[in-house]
Structure 1
Amino acid sequence: MNEKTSPYIYPFRPFLHLNIAEENARFSEPQTLPVEGYSSWLERFAPEINVTPAATIEETIFSIFADDAVRFGELAFVTDLREQWIERIARFTSQGRMLEMTILGFPYKMPVPLKTNRKLADFGEVVSLARLNQIGRAITRVYAPGARSHVFTEGPFGAFNGVSRADSDVYFASLENLLVRFGLNQHVALHDLNAVVDANPDFAGVWADTAKDIERRRDAGDQKVLDAIRDALPVRFHNLANPGVADLDLARAYRRDPAAQELIDSIQRRAESGVVTYRAFLEARDRVQLLERVAPEALAMTVSPRPGRLGVRSLPPPAQILPYHGVTVIARDGQGMDISYLWDLRRSGKGYTPLRLDGDTDPAPFAYIES
């Protein structure tokens, strides 16, 4: 994954071919595969994690999160707080309890046709969930009570991206289906964050109050708030739904063509408002310990690494885009994978075979393989 990190958000990766209007990629006839047809790729892209025994079980478990194959972000973010993490792990091991971990992600497919034309999860999400499942498997091999990752899907973010609750619900259901179909539910539990928010009615008020607080801090020049907004704004700008806008017009706006200034200004206004709401959600989540209400004492994982949270790679290198922001592309030899924006894929000049999954109800491909 992209080694450029932010403690606030997973960084935006620019499009490659916004200046190319005509599609030039070549597509063969689609192939439909069963789950088993994807298994060899899944084993390669989410491989078993090697565990080296340490002096104590807590140190052994800690070493998994410091491993280059697992860790995303600076090693010091993990090792500088080594004693704290070992103490946190010991709260579980001292009582023989299953080790619990949490991570946020998987909100919905981005409502941006230049990124993806799917509504349901695809092979990219399967790989990400499989990598989380492998963390649980690795811990279970050395610690019998086992481990489980609680994945909180970020459906509430649809409120400021222009995604309906119905669409995020359908996406969540597709994740649940794939988790079971690919046998990844031994060490991964999905939680619909929309449902978690619904079950905690105090959260909405804290979210709203936190948004006002962030606006005050922003206007007062709080550097931490300004840094968070700076990092998140490019992401939000390229995540918003723009119904009725043609793909070519959106591409012009994304490359900041002056001819699209009216659309650029519209997106910018909505992005600036949305980034405050986004930051407010994350701060409010921590203020009320929303995730801890579901998974008490769990170790926090993230794709926005920073001290106090365990950065994890959701996809293998060279992938630099999160799976719900694009389409999954498998290398011709099957040895590698990437996530590409659909606009770029169609203008890559390369050949692809669209792959489908039997039983998948989304008409768009489940993945592509280079041909």
Structure 2
Amino acid sequence: MPPTTAPATDISAAILNLLLPHHRTTDRAPASAEAFPRQMRRINDFVREGATIVFTLPGFPCKSPNPAKVLGHLPDQGERLSLTFLNTLCTEIERIYPPGARLIICSDGHVFGDLIHVPDEHIDAYADELRIVMEQHGLSRLSVFDLRDVLGDLPHDTKRAHIHGRHAPTVEALRAEIRADDHALALYRGITRFLFEDTADHAGTRSALQRECRDRAYGVIQRSRAWGDLIAQHHPRAVRLSIHPQPIGAPKFGIRLLDAPDVWTTPWHSAALHRTDGTWTLMSRKEAARLGRLVRQGGRPSHFTQSCEAEIPGTRP
């Protein structure tokens, strides 16, 4: 039984209301907790049992391979701030619901590392560093789950072939969905754009690269869907979060990790800039370097701090 006399639905709504200010969506109108019945039902199931709420968040795969966008292949201040935010969200839930919450980062870099042209050793190093950050900063409500937890020490190509063959939808099915669904189309275009921008060493024409990225985007979505199925098998009761914008009432709840001008921007596609007013934002490394100076932590590039005279585009009327 939950350790409170309040009705389970009231507690679940209060928990969801803690997430709503951070909802990552392209919808413009704000929504109440009642507009998210799927998430309410999942949270309710935990609350009725008085159990710790489990969230899963696919993401934190690896750093972009484009050096104009990121500071390197390991997590930096963008990841540290994002993980701290997620852990704090769990502690806020605990204040109104004592059993609290935990969040599983489902790191998906190995799932499509070959498609995004990132070496598997960089992906391993990135996920291992996430675990180190959690331990060093006392982020005890977070954990990492990746393909190694599913298929052990098999070769990475074997793992990818396994999950693709057993769980991925066909390209034909995806094409039909993208033609019929605006959200699926937006996701496809967003991933295509990231693949295009992340390619730093293409020797051919721009149009050829665009065609290649459109093809690879289908593969990324196929593998992402396959990974989602595996997450559901291993964590069947969890409340599913997403780093991608999600419509109101969708099966997945989009969560915004840090402020950024573009709702698609993530810490692993950018660098963090510390503004003069004390707030943080994400942008390309190249742009952040124009606006501020580089800060190192532990001997590695960490983030940028804004110069007093620099003005961030779009931040002033």
Query: Are the aligned partners of 1:109 and 1:324 in contact in 2 as well (CA < 8 Å)?
Result: yes
AA of the residue aligned to 1:267: L
Q: Given the alignment of the two structures, is residue 107 of structure 1 paired with residue 47 of structure 2, yes or no?
A: no
Aligned partner of residue 158 in structure 1, secondary structure: helix
Q: 1:293 to 1:228 in 2, by over 3 A?
A: same
Amino acid at match of 1:370: Q
CA distance in 2, matches of 1:300, 1:290: 13
Q: Identify the residue that residue 195 of structure 2 maps to in structure 1.
A: 236
Give deviations 1:147-185, integer Å, cap 9, x for gaps.
00111112122210111110111111121111222222x
Q: Aligned-pair distance for 1:137?
A: 0.4
1:318 CA displacement:
5.5
1:37 counterpart residue number: none
Residue of structure 1 in register with 2:282 after alignment: 339
Q: 2:294 aligns to what SS in structure 1? A: strand
CA distance in 2, matches of 1:206, 1:353: 43
2:136 to 174, 181, 201: 181
The question of 1:194 aligning with 2:150 is answered no
SS of 2:24's partner is coil
Does the alignment pair 1:323 with 2:263?
A: no
Matches within 5 A, 1:271-282: 271-282=213-224
1:369 partner SS: strand
Question: Does the aligned pair in 2 maintain the 1:104–1:154 contact within 8 Å?
Answer: yes
Deviation of 1:140 (Å): 0.8
2:185 and 2:95 map into 1 onto residues whose CA distance is: 44
Q: Which amino acid is 2:196 matched to?
A: F
Letter in 2 for 1:105: G
Q: 1:167 is aligned with what amino acid?
A: H
Counterparts of 1:202 and 1:77, CA distance in 2: 41
User: In structure 2, what residue type is equivalent to 1:337?
Assistant: W
Shift in Å, 1:345: 3.2
Q: Deviation per CA, 1:15-54, whole angstroms, max 9, x where unpaired?
A: xxxxxxxxxxxxxxxxxxxxxxxxxxxxxxxxxxxxxx99
Aligned counterpart, 1:161? 116
Is 2:174–2:218's contact at 8 Å kept on the other side of the alignment? Answer: no
The answer to whether the 8 Å contact 1:125/1:323 transfers is yes
Instruction: List aligned pairs for 1:88-99, cutoff 5 A.
Output: 88-99=42-53
Where in structure 2 are the equivalents of 1:342-353 lying within 5 Å? 342-346=285-289, 348=290, 350=291, 352-353=292-293
1:207 equivalent in structure 2: 164
CA distance in 2, matches of 1:264, 1:202: 32
Taking the aligned partners of 1:292 and 1:339, their CA distance within structure 2 comes to 30
- The normalised TM-score by structure 2 is 0.79
Q: Using the TM superposition, give the Cα deviation of residue 204 of structure 1 relative to its aligned residue in structure 2, in angstroms.
A: 3.6
Mapping of residues 222-371 of structure 1, within 5 Å: 222-224=179-181, 228-240=187-199, 242=201, 262-286=204-228, 289-304=229-244, 305-306=246-247, 307-316=250-259, 321-333=265-277, 335-346=278-289, 348=290, 350=291, 352-358=292-298, 360=299, 362=300, 365-371=301-307
Whole-Å separation in 1 of the counterparts to 2:83 and 2:100: 17
Cα separation, partners in 2 of 1:315 and 1:110, compared to 1, 3 Å: same
Deviation at 1:233, TM superposition (A): 1.5
Count of residues in correspondence between the two structures? 287
Rounded to whole Å, the distance in 2 between the matches of 1:315 and 1:125 is 9
Displacement of 1:120 = 0.9
Identity %: 22
Unaligned residue ranges in structure 1 (runs of 5+): 1-52, 246-261
The DSSP-based 3-state class of the residue aligned with 1:366 is: strand
Q: Which position in structure 1 is the counterpart of 2:315?
A: none
Within 2, Cα distance between the matches of 1:164 and 1:281? 17
- 1:170 matches 2:125: yes
Q: Identify the residue that residue 175 of structure 2 maps to in structure 1.
A: 218
Is 1:129 matched up with 2:65?
A: no
1:71 shift after superposition: 2.0
| Cα deviation code 1:229-282 (max 9, x no counterpart) | 334321221123527x7xxxxxxxxxxxxxxxx342442243122111111112
Match of 1:316, SS state, is: coil
1:146 is aligned to 100
Paired residues of 1:116 and 1:342 also in contact (CA < 8 A): yes
Contact 2:271–2:303, Cα closer than 8 Å, also in 1:
yes
TM-score, length of structure 1 as denominator length = 0.68
The structure carrying a bigger helix percent of its residues is 2
- Any idea what the Cα deviations from partners look like across 1:77-100, whole Å, max 9, x if unmatched? 964233x43322121122221100
Which residue identity is paired with 1:331? R
Displacement of 1:222 = 4.0
Secondary structure of the equivalent of 2:104?
strand
Tell me if structure 1 keeps the 8 A contact 2:90–2:103.
yes
Residue identity in the other structure for 2:81: V
